[in-house]
Amino acid sequence: EEVAPAEAFKAEGTKLFQEGRFFDAYKAWKQGADELEGIPVETLSEKARKLKVALCNNAAQALLRCTEVEGASTERARVMAQK
């Protein structure tokens, strides 16, 4: 299914976030969102659309926790939230 790689990145990001590895979680979730990026939204299944929203929201949330990365908690988080 089209969402299998993105789901794997979502699971990886969740594990990393729970370990307090916020920037690594962001990277995993962003990679998952990027897996779905090339597919036109209108052709995505409902499951895939919901997954993409969750990945973008999770990535933005992780960035808000990244105090060690300059601009992460503001500009990058805003960009992810707007996807």
Classify burial at 33, counting beta carbons within 10 Å of its beta carbon; exposed 0-12, middle 13-18, buried 19 or more: buried
32-68 tens-digit pLDDT: 999 998 888 888 899 999 999 999 999 988 988 877 6
* Whether pTM exceeds 0.85: no
Contact indicator for 32, 13 with CB cutoff of 8 Å: yes
H or E segment at 15? helix 4-18
